[in-house]
A and B are shown apart, each in its own frame.
Chain A
Amino acid sequence: DSGVTQTPKHLITATGQRVTLRCSPRSGDLSVYWYQQSLDQGLQFLIQYYNGEERAKGNILERFSAQQFPDLHSELNLSSLELGDSALYFCASSVGNLGLDTQYFGPGTRLTVL
């Protein structure tokens, strides 16, 4: 158990819908990262927040957005869902924001878009 929690474990929804994925980082970690794992793209970085502020952006679609709240939990919002958005979404956390320390991953949310 990494200490990072993600809810829900599974989500099944239809095209065009909007969903919210939630992540709670390990106690003491200020950085939260979101990654997407799909069969064709592998593991891809989406976005990073540090202490409530966006710090780095990766291959995140405009239909997707995220935020980190004062209690440091984070939410990833996916809207206008398409079939290709079906994937495993991981949240990870680390102490700092300089990329020098270990990122601990949560168990992931499996999103299926029908």
Chain B
Amino acid sequence: SQQGEEDPQALSIQEGENATMNCSYKTSINNLQWYRQNSGRGLVHLILIRSNEREKHSGRLRVTLDTSKKSSSLLITASRAADTASYFCATMNTGFQKLVFGTGTRLLVSP
């Protein structure tokens, strides 16, 4: 069963706008990872944030983590049509080695 819930399920924006996706989870974690998937293809790792970190940046990506609220957000700034994909959060729960994936957010960026 999936632990993470992502919000929104789908997001449609124009190029140049920012996109924010949220992820909530249920148990304590070692880290949280964000992945991108282009229409049924492989999962591309975007960023890993550890449980003792609150914010992390990578290029146009900004990830925050609030362990007290058991939530994370992914912000993509100045979006491009090439950012169109599904985005998944995945948690590595304390004491386990498996990633538990959220339900994903489908992002559509129109030119």
Contact A2 B97 (CB under 8 A): no
- Which of chain A's residues 53-95 have a Cβ closer than 8 Å to chain B? 55-56, 58, 88, 90, 92
Nearest chain B CB to A25's CB is how many angstroms away?
14
Interface size on A, residues (CB 8 A): 29
Contact B42 A108 (CB under 8 A): yes
Report how far A31 CA is from B40 CA in the complex, Å.
24
Nearest chain A CB to B33's CB is how many angstroms away?
7
Contact A108 B97 (CB under 8 A): no
B2 within 8 A of A: yes
Contact A98 B41 (CB under 8 A): no
Closest residue to B46 on the A side, CB-wise?
A102
Nearest chain A CB to B105's CB is how many angstroms away?
13
Q: Give which listed residue, A41, A56, A102, contacts B98 with CB less than 8 A.
A: A56
B100 within 8 A of A: yes
Closest residue to A103 on the B side, CB-wise?
B99
- CB neighbours (8 Å) of A104 from chain B are 45
B30 within 8 A of A: yes
A13 within 8 A of B: no
- CB neighbours (8 Å) of B100 from chain A are 45
Contact B45 A56 (CB under 8 A): no
- CB neighbours (8 Å) of B42 from chain A are 2, 90, 105-108
Nearest chain A CB to B77's CB is how many angstroms away?
22
- CB neighbours (8 Å) of B92 from chain A are 99-100
Report how far A36 CA is from B31 CA in the complex, Å.
21
Closest residue to B100 on the A side, CB-wise?
A45
- CB neighbours (8 Å) of B44 from chain A are 2, 105
- A interface list, Cβ under 8 A from B: 2, 31, 33, 35, 41-45, 48, 55-56, 58, 88, 90, 92, 97-108, 110
Q: Which 9 A-B pairs have the closest CB atoms?
A: A45-B98, A43-B101, A105-B43, A107-B42, A99-B97, A99-B92, A56-B97, A42-B2, A102-B48
Q: Give me 9 A-to-B residue pairs in the complex whose CB atoms sit less than 8 angstroms apart, sorted by A's number.
A: A2-B45, A33-B99, A43-B101, A88-B40, A92-B43, A92-B99, A100-B31, A105-B44, A107-B42
